[in-house]
Amino acid sequence: MSKKILIADDDELLVKAIVSRLRQYAYEAIYAYDATLAMEMAVSQKPDLILLDIKMPAGTGKSTLEHLKDAAKTTNIPVIVMTAFPDEELRHFAASKGAVDFLEKPFEIDCLLDSIKRALGEENRTEEP
């Protein structure tokens, strides 16, 4: 059964690029362009992993990460934080809230895929033929 990944980011071009690449690895990709929808989808869709942008409309990624980790239904979902505005305080915050990785935009898609595989315990997963 394929793993479901929720991409929460307001950058449509980035989301489309990530979705396309994830499908090459037979991951199921779902996405939300704002923080409110991301929270709703995390509860209703039960993804195996969440890619979370820190700066989004309708709430911040920081508050979304806090809600995800505080809610019983989503607390165990691994989260990879992505941001174009990195700083040490934000990196520390993400780690303290249980984020499994912290990626600075722009990043190489292969770096993201490596992070996803580690988070899902699938380091040996390869592209589908």
The C-alpha atoms of residue 90 and residue 15 are separated, in whole angstroms, by 22
Domains and CATH numbers, the chain: 4-113 (3.40.50.2300)
What does the pLDDT profile of the chain (129 residues) look like in tens digits?
699 999 999 999 999 999 999 999 999 999 999 999 999 999 999 999 999 999 888 778 889 999 999 999 999 999 999 999 888 999 999 999 999 999 999 999 999 999 999 999 998 877 775
Q: Amino acid identity, residue 16?
A: K
| pTM across the whole model | 0.94
